[in-house]
Amino acid sequence: MSSNLGKYRNNFLREVAANVEEGGWVKMCMQCGVCSGSCPLGPHWEHPPQEIFMMIRANQREEVLTSSSMWFCTSCYNCIARCPRELPITHIMHGLAHYAKRLGIAPKDQRTAKFAQLFWDNLFTKGRVNELKLGLRLYFMDGFVAGIKTALKMQKVGLGMWKTQRMDPLEILGGHGCKDLKGLQAALNKARQIEEQKAAKFQG
């Protein structure tokens, strides 16, 4: 297992509070289980939200950060609407997934993580999402043959989008960018640098 897992075992709750979006809320969880019971995907997760929060408090760093559970959150907000302690559960789930990815210990075969990376790379290139390129990248994520099969299966949808001007085939040539692309990229790089410095402090 990655060396990133070996360090900082004794205070995972504090690490989560410092590095994970809205992570400071985890300590407020009273383990009532309403979130897990409300989550439409809860029964299919290895660890539903209430269990993830319990594991964080029990210092189960490796089990939490290598879990695929957080990656299944669909942002339906059922849990947030019902939590008696008003924890921002959805944001914490995504924050945990993001933190695990930053540390390089997210499950490697996680398709949501792959999609997130494709989306980010696409957005970073021009400052706007090029939907045509993103769609094609997704189709061909599992190789050329699988990509052709998916493209053929989705051809009616693609044609419909083109006819209703929801997709421009010329986007393949590059598409529109935002006005100050260099400025945006510099800001995003700076934000990433700050996050990495924060995480490194807790790793050392």
Residue identified by tokens 């964080």 is 56
Q: Does residue 105 contact residue 2 with C-beta atoms inside 8 Å?
A: yes
For ligand SF4, give the closer residue by CB, 97 or 105.
97
Q: Give least dist CB 109 to ligand SF4, A.
A: 20
Enumerate binding residues for ligand SF4 (CB under 6 A): 29-35, 38-39, 41, 49-50, 53, 73-79, 83-85, 87, 89-90, 93
For ligand SF4, give the closer residue by CB, 22 or 133.
22
For ligand SF4, give the closer residue by CB, 38 or 122.
38
For ligand SF4, give the closer residue by CB, 78 or 130.
78
Q: Give least dist CB 144 to ligand SF4, A.
A: 33
Q: Give least dist CB 46 to ligand SF4, A.
A: 13
Q: Give least dist CB 52 to ligand SF4, A.
A: 9
